Amino acid sequence: MTKAESPFILADSLFASGQYFRSAIEYERILFEQEDAGMQRRALLQKALSLKHQQRYADAIQELNRIAIRHAQDTLLAEKSYQLASCHYLSQNYQQSIDAISMVEQALKGHPVLPDLLTLKTLAYNQLFQHEEAKQTLLTLSQQADNGPLYQQIAQDLYQNKKPKKYKNPEKAHNLSMIIPGTGHLYSGAIGEGAISFLLNASALGFGAWHVYTGYYLTGYVIGVTTLERFHTGGKKRAENLAIWKNTENAHQLNLRIISYLNGEAQ
């Protein structure tokens, strides 16, 4: 056992056994007690990983940003960058994830970047529906990675032979349903719900109009108009939420396809 390893025995043991809350405390103790820069950088990384396992991504990012990178050849550059990008990704901050990886690419000035970093960048681009950028990242991987032909195949199969599904604008879905009830649902891909929404709004309008026509003005207003308002307001919000859900589902399915290819499970 080396002198550098001895302070980490308890913390590493806790980490290995999945006791991430306690391991984070132990790594913080090492940071407080040890003055050696190498030990401190290792403790910062391990503390960040402990926080990441607790899904405390913002705290993990804060610790990762404390790790000083001396130069582009620093052995911690790739590890810090991957963990930073993955924490941003898991926080659904996809642009920040991309930015973290782009900084590594810029630091390396044209030298190959770890495939894991560029793969994560591809997944983040897909979450933002920036499919052309995702395809170009895969093509870069096809030139740099050992399994380059596989990345070429992914780009060909998922982005050229079959175009990824387009982004559904939640605001557009909301506005469409505001003009004609149900059309926002149709735009978001929920045909059945769109038809039901249209019928409910039409029924409420018809109910109110009939009672006004037959002289029951108060009944027509109180029941017909107020019911129509509720259906209309609810329909607009539902259409907006459907668009958001559809985007999440489409991005998730595309990324699952990529992971299936990388795991050799694509059909």
Would residue 158 count as lying in a domain? no
Q: What is the pLDDT of residue 87?
A: 97
Question: Residue 255 has what pLDDT?
Answer: 94
End-of-domain residue from the set 83, 109, 144: 144
Do 48 and 106 lie in one domain? The reply is yes
Together in a domain, 36 and 100: yes
pLDDT value of residue 212: 46
pLDDT tens across the length of the chain (267 residues): 454 568 899 999 999 999 999 999 999 999 999 888 889 999 999 999 999 999 999 999 999 999 988 877 788 888 999 999 999 999 999 999 999 999 888 888 767 778 899 999 999 999 999 999 999 999 999 998 888 899 999 999 999 888 899 888 888 877 776 666 667 666 777 566 655 554 455 554 444 444 444 554 445 455 445 554 555 565 667 778 778 888 899 999 999 999 999 988 765
Q: Are 53 and 116 in the same domain? A: yes
Last residue of a domain, one of 81, 110, 144: 144
| Per-residue model confidence (pLDDT) at position 216 | 46
Q: 75 and 203, same structural domain?
A: no
| Residue 160 located in a structural domain | no
Residue 165 belongs to a domain: no
Same domain, yes or no: 74 and 22: yes
Within a domain: residue 211?
yes
The answer to whether the beta carbons of residues 220 and 210 sit under 8 Å apart is: yes
Of 142, 183, 178, nearest to 159 (Cα)?
A: 142
Which of 126, 144, 162 terminates a domain? The answer is 144
Residue range(s) defining the domain that contains residue 94: 6-144
In-domain check, residue 100: yes
As for how many domains the chain has, the answer is 2
Instruction: Answer whether residue 117 is part of any domain.
Output: yes
Same domain? For 48 and 132 the reply is yes
Contact (Cβ atoms closer than 8 angstroms) between residue 34 and residue 45: no
**CA within 13 Å, CB half, 197:** 29
Specify if 87 maps to a domain: yes
Statement to judge: residues 76 and 117 lie in one domain: yes
> How many C-beta neighbours within 10 Å does residue 111 have?
10
User: For residue 199, is it within any domain?
Assistant: yes
pLDDT at 18: 95
Give 64's contacts (C-beta < 8 A, 6+ positions apart): 44, 45, 48, 80, 83, 84, 87
CATH number at residue 88: 1.25.40.10
User: C-alpha distances in angstroms, 202 versus 150, 171, 230?
Assistant: 53, 23, 13
What pLDDT, on the 0 to 100 scale, is given for residue 159? 92
175 and 137 part of one domain: no
Same domain, 180 and 89: no
> Are residue 131 and residue 227 in the same domain, yes or no?
no
* Confidence at residue 208, expressed as pLDDT on a 0 to 100 scale: 47
107 and 181 co-located in one domain: no
One domain for residues 66 and 104: yes
